[in-house]
Structure 1
């Protein structure tokens, strides 16, 4: 790996860099290996939007596989399942040396269908199917942090499945996610499963919080409100890290850790800057803390490598100021609970739209192949 760069400094500060993108073109071209070697990438995350874009823009790389699926008479759901699990399996193999060297990184995440976001039993069943199909110890199954998803997180963890909990926006829901993970670990321990084999991350979304809250602050329009723009996402994430430290320092969590369990690491998601007036590395350099993951789109990764200013921990000493930001938002009239509820609902809806686009892309490709 590159040893003298901002991404190397980020890694040395305790941040695991994961790429928020995956495509067959990236796999067959050696692009993923290049990012591992030159940009200190140690993991990959995917979601329905990423796969929809990969299929739409990578017809040549997927052509042979689609032709084989068409010839076998595969339906659309089967074809999509085989394509995405194949890509994740291949990426997991590319990252296997990282996994073998670290144990906690070298991860590749694959998400359950977004249509199951409010179906706990359906999510549990598909999580088990994805885990068995990918069949790699460094895979992670992404489960959304809906109310129904909490039970699925517990059940999947209890079954020995490593889970990436996605679409976390609020501190209250984050606390529930950690509790669901700890409960799953307790059940796994009771079942005799080696807790050391279970890993988890909790994906706390950042820039989407700013996008929604800044829209509301602009509508309020007072000087006090406008002065709070672009501060909420970072403050929210910093308080999430404080919560992480508190809960994993509890007697309950300590007992599990002493039994061989792993902490559920905070993961900063949605780290691409949406507002062009902001520094393009804002959600990287302002969220540096030991033991976290930052999953970046390639544009943000390259910006960080090129000019990111990494000066060590920017989180643990800022809890007081972060709390003041959220207090100030409430004072000017921003309803935090409503913001996070809207973001969760929209997050599920956006992934569902992307999933449907993915199905339509594969449908057209199969028909053309036939």
Structure 2
């Protein structure tokens, strides 16, 4: 064990106490959720301060952030790691317990927001399930908080997990949504699970699904593809906004149908869309009712200190979507095909993050 002085780690930027940009976003039904939260942000009160100050109303726990914290000198995880190791826990078990402890803590911090929002905000997303339905259900049972969302990758196998979770009353966040086609499949899987829950006599309000659309990743990939096309002039943010409009319009159409009306009358809560964004400009440009942006601390502060957004940019934009998608196709870019590549690369990156997290846990455990 190291006896070096504790490394405090990089400080989060200060949260503004008042912001015209945040007030404008809130009036349009837009929330900010803080990405890459770890034990340090819970222990030092940073997350609580940002929530109470109104800067963010949701949080995302990530294995990458936990790994960074575990590798710091004097990490805040060390006491729990030591206690679990003395109890004979394996590194895999230690990792699960660290994640579950952080999730319960973050859910307590966000619980008042969740209550005030009637179950439509105040969520804590957690990464950590291995991709199976049994792991997702077990994680949710161990944390046992109504405002927990278990991340489930929107892959072919992940669609089955989403349906099982919806049937069993577990909230989920469908990640890696990179196309309208995959979003439609996510929505179908979730609605099917809700219908199963209603038939089984369960409360569908417990089975929320928040699809997280990777607009930042899609933007970067499309800009890179267009940069290699002669005569193309990439417009930053163009592809992400187009994808957001396509997904938002698809959801509006589906929620206007008989299938959703029957579920809504049974008590199901309306969907909230989340955007995984990279810059304050994307937050200002992608504005729509009942949506959330998953942002870094720097992007959150940059948004709060930046210009006021001009208003809703998503509703009733079907003609714009068709025009913009056709423009991309003329340059050889099809978002549906691009999505498959992005999803594959993201899954590979996630597998590396899981391996790095377990390695960091092992390094923190006492040598036998």
**TM-score above 0.5, yes or no:** yes
- 2:6 is matched with none
**Distance (whole Å) between structure 2 residues aligned to residue 213 and residue 17 of structure 1:** 25
Q: How far off is 1:16 after superposition?
A: 2.1
Moved over 6 A (4+): none
TM-score by length of 1: 0.91
Q: Distance in 2 between matches of 1:53 and 1:308?
A: 32
Once the 2 structures are TM-superposed, how far is the Cα of residue 228 of structure 1 from its aligned partner? Answer: 4.6
Q: Does 1:272 align with 2:278?
A: yes
> Which moved further from structure 2: 287-296 or 103-112?
103-112
1:27-60 superposed Cα distances (whole Å, 9 cap, x missing partner): 1111011111224311111233233233334742
Give distance in 2, aligned partners of 1:229 and 1:26.
Answer: 32
C-alpha distance 319-160 of structure 1, shift in aligned 2 (>3 A): same
Identify if the C-alpha distance between structure 1 residues 268 and 58 changes in structure 2 by more than 3 Å, giving closer, same or farther.
farther
Tell whether 2:219 aligns with 1:220: no
1-structure distance, mates of 2:60, 2:210 = 11
Which consecutive residues of structure 2, in runs of 5 or more, have no partner in the other structure? 1-15
1:193 partnered with 2:192: no
Give the 3-state SS of the residue equivalent to 1:288 in structure 2.
Answer: coil
Aligned-pair CA distance for 1:182 = 0.5
Unaligned runs of 5+ in 1: 117-122, 274-280
> Any idea what the Cα deviations from partners look like across 1:7-34, whole Å, max 9, x if unmatched?
2321221012211121111111110111
Match of 1:236 in 2: 243
1:33 aligns with 2:48: yes
Match of 1:226, SS state, is coil
**How far is the alpha carbon of 1:73 from its aligned partner?**
1.8
Aligned mates of 2:336, 2:311 — CA distance in 1 = 32
What displacement does 1:107 show?
1.1
Cα distance in 1, alignment partners of residues 192 and 164 from structure 2 = 9
- Contact map agreement 2:82 2:366 (CA 8 A) in 1: no
Whether the aligned pair in 1 keeps the contact of 2:215 and 2:240 (CA below 8 Å) is yes
Cα deviation 1:178-199 (Å, max 9, x = unaligned): 0111101000001111122322
Match of residue 120 from structure 1 = none
In the alignment, which of 128, 144, 147 is matched to residue 135 of structure 1?
144
Equivalent position SS for 2:126: strand
The structure where helix makes up a greater share of residues is 1
- 8 Å Cα contact 1:2-1:37 kept in structure 2: no
Aligned to 2:340: 341
Q: Name the residue aligned to 1:323.
A: 322
Contact 1:285–1:314 under 8 Å retained in 2: no
User: How many equivalent pairs are there?
Assistant: 352
Corresponding residue for 2:35? 20
Q: Per-residue displacement from partner, 1:143-183 (whole Å, max 9, x unpaired)?
A: 11001111110011000111111110011110010011110
